[in-house]
Amino acid sequence: MLMNDKSIIQVEDLHKWFGMLHVLKGITFSVVPREVLVIIGRSGSGKSTLLRCINFLEDPSAGMISVAGVGVLTGPGIKPEHKKILALRLSTGMVFQEFNLFPHMTTIDNVIEGLVTVKRMKKDEAIPIGEKYLEKVGLRDKRDVHPIRLSGGQKQRVAIARALAMEPAVLLFDEPTSALDPELIGEVLDVMKEIAYDGATMLVVTHEMGFAKDVSDRIIFIDQGLIVEDGPPEQIFSNPKDERTRLFLEPLRKVQHL
């Protein structure tokens, strides 16, 4: 795929090895501003590893990653610049499967932690920003509550507010509903939909095919570390070009009523 000069994310020939295991096998794609890209595939296909390589939570084995104009080249014998990696991370906000909230901190303190420790903002300047994004996810009234008093869905919404508070160029969601009870999934997906409709650039790894169909601009299907299919949701769901995509989606259509 030729890279687009207007892309906010560019990934080119990305490889990741874990010992002898070749997890990502030359992944190339780009994302333009305000695009919602959903990444689907079977467990173990490399989806989460791809997301974690984009913000260098995992060190790529080889390839080029660029986010918001900051490009980092990796490969054997190449030592990426630490400053570039930090700059790239500042351009991404990550929402994990687990909520990763600090249990000893209140909701507002969890949300503003990055502003205070990473951006070196004074706490009294950070608090209004934190309150703004708690309002955004519908949890302004939980400002002074500790995580133990929150449901799983509320915890994940706090984690989304924490990512938003850093005002990143790109939001990365790594199966954000997979640790939730079924009745709590909807409240998190509703917040994500609102963020998408507001024009955020989002990469979402998910098994929620309804969200993928209704909200995404594009879907990538990954199988065994390779991009097998890349297209708009109507094409992926109605007329997949690759047999592997069709076989993956067939049982999900029945379960999720697609």
d(CA 198, CA 175): 21
Other CB atoms within a 10 A radius of the CB of residue 21 amount to 8
Residue 66's pLDDT is 97
Nearest alpha-carbon partner for 93 in 51, 62, 129: 51
Residue 5's pLDDT is 60
pLDDT single digits (tens) 45-64 = 999 999 999 999 999 999 99
Question: For the chain, how big is the Rg over CA atoms in Å?
Answer: 18
The answer to whether 51 and 174 are in contact (CB under 8 A) is yes
Residue 251's pLDDT is 77
Q: DSSP states of the chain as a string?
A: -PPPTT-SEEEEEEEEEETTEEEEEEEEEEE-TT-EEEEE--TTSSHHHHHHHHTTSS--SEEEEEETTEEEEEBTTB---HHHHHHHHHTEEEE-SS----TTS-HHHHHHHHHHHTS---HHHHHHHHHHHHHHTT-GGGTT--GGGS-HHHHHHHHHHHHHHT--SEEEEESTTTTS-HHHHHHHHHHHHHHHHTT--EEEE-S-HHHHHHH-SEEEEEETTEEEEEE-HHHHHHS-SSHHHHHHHHHHHHHHT-
d(CA 253, CA 249): 6
Residue 250's pLDDT is 86
Residue 256's pLDDT is 59
Other CB atoms within a 10 A radius of the CB of residue 166 amount to 22
Whole-structure pTM value: 0.93
The answer to whether 1 and 29 are in contact (CB under 8 A) is yes
Crossing angle of helices 152-165 and 182-197, in 10° steps, is 20
For the chain, 258 residues long, give each residue's pLDDT as a single digit of tens: 334 568 999 999 999 999 999 999 999 999 999 999 999 999 999 999 999 999 999 999 999 999 999 999 999 999 999 999 999 999 999 999 999 999 999 999 999 999 999 999 999 999 999 999 999 999 999 999 999 999 999 999 999 999 999 999 999 999 999 999 999 999 999 999 999 999 999 999 999 999 999 999 999 999 999 999 999 999 999 999 999 999 999 876 666 555
